[in-house]
Copies of this chain bind each other. A is one copy, B any other.
Amino acid sequence: MRIDGTSENHSAMSEASQKDPLVLFMPSGKRGRFPVGTSVLDAARKLGVYVESVCGGRATCGRCQIEVQEGSFAKHKIISSYDHISPVGPKEERYAEVRKIPEGRRLSCSAQILGDLVVDVPQDTVVNAQVIRKAATDRVIERNPAIQLCYVEVDEPDMHKPLGDLDRLKLMLEKDWGWQNILVSQHLLPDVQKTLRKGNWGVTAAIHRDLEGSRPNLIALWPGLHNEAYGIACDIGSTTIAMHLVSLLSGRIVASSGTSNPQIRFGEDLMSRVSYVMMNPDGREAMTKAVRQAINDLTARVCAEAGVNPNDILDAVFVANPIMHHLFLGIDPTELGQAPFALAVSGEVHTWSREIDLAINHGARVYMLPCIAGHVGADAAGATLAEGPYRQDRMMLLVDVGTNAEIVLGNRDRVVAASSPTGPAFEGAEISSGQRAAPGAIERVRIDPVTFEPKYRVIGVDMWSDEEGFEEAASKIGVTGICGSAIIEVVAEMYLAGIISEDGVVDGSLAERSPRIIANGRTFSYLLRDGEQRITVTQNDVRAIQLAKAALYAGIKLLMEKQGVEHVDMIRFAGAFGSFIDPKYAMVLGLIPDCDLAEVKAVGNAAGTGALMALLNRDSRREIERAVNRIEKIETALEPKFQEFFVHAMALPNKVDAFPCLSTVVTLPARKVPTDDGGGEGGGRRRRRSRE
């Protein structure tokens, strides 16, 4: 075999191809020449193309399916044809009799190379599909899982060669699969003999080989051909735990689900949970138990949904914020509650399911992504892996907004990260009419800049408030508050309509023009909805949003300054909050810096996607470990300029920064001209006095 990287002229290729046909694998693009008669599976292996195979070429597992592309591929200078692959033989026929092989598919272990080929390796080879779910992520993740299933047929015991049953099994794993110096989990020893005899000396071994510089590990064993292996990818959030159940053999997500974090009963937000640990001697243990139990319950649920035996789960990848990360691992998070915010462990964690009481296979492995810093956790690392700022040529801003905003900014040259204490305002807390995103919550708001009349949408009602039938529909569920995304919109719309100034002051003089502007003690509020439950946006609400967005923006500015840029090329909003807010309003509010709106995208649970990538491909683990090592961590509290950026960011959208991209799609109110550039802060102080 020769890796073929050079371009050859067509006639020369044809001649060479008669002896050693050229094979190109897609989507990897890897190519090489192989002698006529080589199996497609062997060719893939030699090129390092990951094609699954459990049975080791016996044509019994059906995992090694490929598709031959018919036609002339000018770009690759290959004429590929069905005639260039051997016809279906008896072994493959026998398999096809038992289980269907989709039209056009072949078992690569049995199909031999006869001529030049373009071979497609499908990423969704499903053998025992039970429940097929819509993919939770639309990206194709190249597979190279840490777990591999290997079927072997072991020699029967021989008194003349008294090697133990397990030792002969290891010999065969080396002979057939190349695994050397395998370590065996102690818990398997008691059942090795029974398993071998039950399988009539044919067994399937699960090998774990994630740790560079470590021996492969035999972690599970089944009699006969065992053709299923699953993994879970889990994001442990403060509020919600989200999980994907994934086939490690096909990469397919077979179930996804979420549950609320039962630690909420110990404290709504992270710091109150840290306090709980500090105040209660058994607090840490109780919270560790609670989160592990919730994960076990969630695992049972996704398994039931997909018809998967939890014992077939052999690998688990977790991401979490630092405090959840610590509590899940049984570590007291007290140090994270105070400067210098020392993580007990920041690097990746490798362990075993049984060490942390997970109700999956007793030999299953556990991997946790590294944490970036004391407030930028493994969840941020997961999002960073998923979105890959370090893979970009252009400057990418990745933001995950929660009680703490985690901010990553960079490109392939340099990545910086920080967290910013936004507080819970974006989640609806500290807002007079704020509530979680649930039926009855206002989720979209528009305000007429002339009449100041609003229209809005409510979760659970399929029309705007000014459409006919809205009140009837809304009355059924009740309109109860404003959720996070609408808070962003209503404050932005109030600003665009001139109801609040760039300093965030509700203009009380407008009360004469509109009954929507109402006095509220010494300040004024905007009445969003009248009726049984009045929903207003108060001066304090605006102030809370200003503080939150200023904290986030100041953090972003700090990172931009570290990078020496005045502009970001791409913005990615991770997390649930990001999925619901309208980037335009976020920008009007000055929550994020100016950017081409087409380059601002919500990426959903990017942390969970990162966990999924790490589950399906151990190269992704090495990639994010390296990336996290390289990320420069900025502690906002220690940066003298943070305060200045924060003060500028209190203004809407910002006291000093321009928003040229935004201005092309939104007409921003005319900015008050500050006395001079350096006097922004002083001006702010003056204005603050004027408000009192």
Contacts and interface: CB of A to CB of B under 8 A. Distances in A.
A521 interface: no
Interface string A193-214: 1100000000000000001111
Given A183-B211, A193-B331, A215-B214, A159 B341 contact: yes
Contacts of A371: 164
Given A164-B345, A340-B159, A347-B166, A329 B214 contact: no
Contacts of A162: 341-343, 346, 372-374, 633, 635
Contacts of A187: 355
A339 interface: yes
A160 interface: yes
Interface string A131-174: 00000000000000000000000001111111111110010000
Contacts of A633: 160-162
A186 interface: yes
A74 interface: no
A343 B215 contact: no
A350 interface: yes
Interface in A599-656: 633, 635, 637-638
A637 B160 CA distance: 10
Nearest to A341: B159
A283 interface: no
A55 B162 CA distance: 46
Nearest to A336: B193
Interface residue tally on A, bucketed by range: 35 or more
A349 interface: yes
Interface in A171-193: 181, 183-184, 186-187, 189-190, 192-193
Contacts of A638: 159-160
Nearest to A348: B167
Copies in the complex: 2
Contacts of A186: 329, 349, 351-352, 355-356
A332 interface: yes
Interface string A42-54: 0000000000000
Contacts of A351: 186
Contact of A214 (B157, B214, B342): B214
Of the candidates A186, A212, A373, the one having the most CB atoms from chain B within 10 angstroms of its own CB is A186
A329 B170 CA distance: 19
B215 A164 contact: no
A187 B181 CA distance: 26
Given A162-B374, A183-B211, A192 B344 contact: yes
A358 to B, nearest CB: 12
A164 B381 CA distance: 15
A159 to B, nearest CB: 4
B159 A635 contact: yes
A335 interface: yes
A166 B341 contact: no
Interface in A350-394: 350-352, 355-356, 371-374
A330 interface: yes
Contacts of A635: 159-160, 162
Given A181-B212, A213-B214, A635-B162, A347 B189 contact: no
Given A165-B345, A193-B344, A345-B167, A339 B159 contact: yes
Contact of A189 (B161, B331, B373): B331
A633 B164 CA distance: 13
Nearest to A352: B186
A375 to B, nearest CB: 9
A352 to B, nearest CB: 7
Contacts of A211: 183, 215
A167 B213 contact: no
B340 A166 contact: no
Given A159-B341, A193-B335, A344-B164, A214 B183 contact: yes
Contacts of A194: 332
Given A186-B349, A330-B190, A342 B165 contact: yes
Contacts of A167: 343, 345-347
A498 B346 CA distance: 83
Interface in A290-342: 329-332, 335, 339-342
Contacts of A355: 186-187
B190 A345 contact: no
A170 to B, nearest CB: 8
A635 to B, nearest CB: 4
A662 to B, nearest CB: 34
A165 B165 CA distance: 44
B346 A163 contact: yes
Interface string A1-44: 00000000000000000000000000000000000000000000
B192 A350 contact: no
A447 to B, nearest CB: 43
A469 to B, nearest CB: 54
Given A352-B186, A356-B186, A344 B165 contact: yes
Contacts of A332: 190, 193-194
Contacts of A352: 186
Interface in A203-236: 211-215
Contacts of A156: 340
Given A332-B193, A339-B159, A351-B186, A345 B213 contact: no
A356 B189 CA distance: 11
A377 to B, nearest CB: 11
A464 to B, nearest CB: 47
A163 B629 CA distance: 9
5 contacts: A157-B340, A160-B633, A162-B343, A165-B342, A186-B349
Interface of A: 156-167, 170, 181, 183-184, 186-187, 189-190, 192-194, 211-215, 329-332, 335, 339-347, 349-352, 355-356, 371-374, 633, 635, 637-638
Given A159-B339, A162-B633, 13 more contacts: A159-B340, A159-B341, A162-B341, A162-B343, A164-B344, A166-B346, A167-B347, A181-B212, A183-B214, A189-B345, A192-B344, A192-B345, A211-B215
